């Protein structure tokens, strides 16, 4: 049973997937956004080999917890993903996920150009790993 993770941006979508046990997240792909149909088909192609049973999508809340225009765009796209892929969607608070992913990439000593290529994938991993950790925490209680 695998779980997918998405970091949805206006220009790119980071894609991650969990291992079979739901313990760790790995980056899979970065989808360059063009049109809705092509975006959904690219996501389907990226996730199909893993057959995720759930997809976690990062919800970009404002720091005060409210939903702004970007969060509304992500929610609308999430509904499209759920219909197109026929997989349940879980929205996950992604505040500071890009900051966390950037920090990890900086610690790995990647150049700015290399970071730019993988930041969306790393943010998807960060989002999915947060969700997986919360599941593990709930199981351990």
All structural domains of the chain with their residue ranges: 3-140
Structure tokens of 7? 């970091």
- Tell me what pLDDT residue 62 has: 77
Would you identify the CATH topology of the domain 3-140? Nucleotidyltransferase; domain 5 (3.30.420)
- pLDDT for res 97: 61
- Taking alpha carbons only, the member of 55, 49, 125 closest to residue 88 is 55
Q: Are 30 and 7 in contact (CB under 8 A)?
A: no
Q: What percent of the chain has pLDDT over 70?
A: 81
pLDDT reported for residue 65:
79
Amino acid 87: pLDDT: 96
């Amino acid at each position: 049973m695998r779980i997918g993770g998405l970091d949805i941006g206006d220009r790119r979508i980071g894609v991650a997937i969990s291992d079979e046990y739901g313990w760790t997240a790995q980056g899979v792909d970065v989808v360059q956004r063009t049109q809705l149909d092509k975006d959904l088909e690219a996501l389907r192609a990226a996730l199909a080999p893993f057959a995720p049973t759930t997809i976690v999508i990062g919800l970009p809340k404002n720091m005060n917890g409210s939903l702004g225009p970007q969060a509304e765009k992500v929610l609308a796209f999430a509904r499209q993903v759920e219909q197109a892929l026929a997989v349940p969607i879980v929205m996950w608070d992604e505040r500071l996920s890009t900051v966390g992913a950037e920090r990890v990439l900086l610690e790995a000593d990647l150049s700015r150009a290399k970071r730019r290529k993988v930041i969306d994938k790393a943010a998807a991993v960060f989002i999915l790993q947060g969700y997986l950790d919360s599941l593990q925490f709930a199981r351990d209680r």
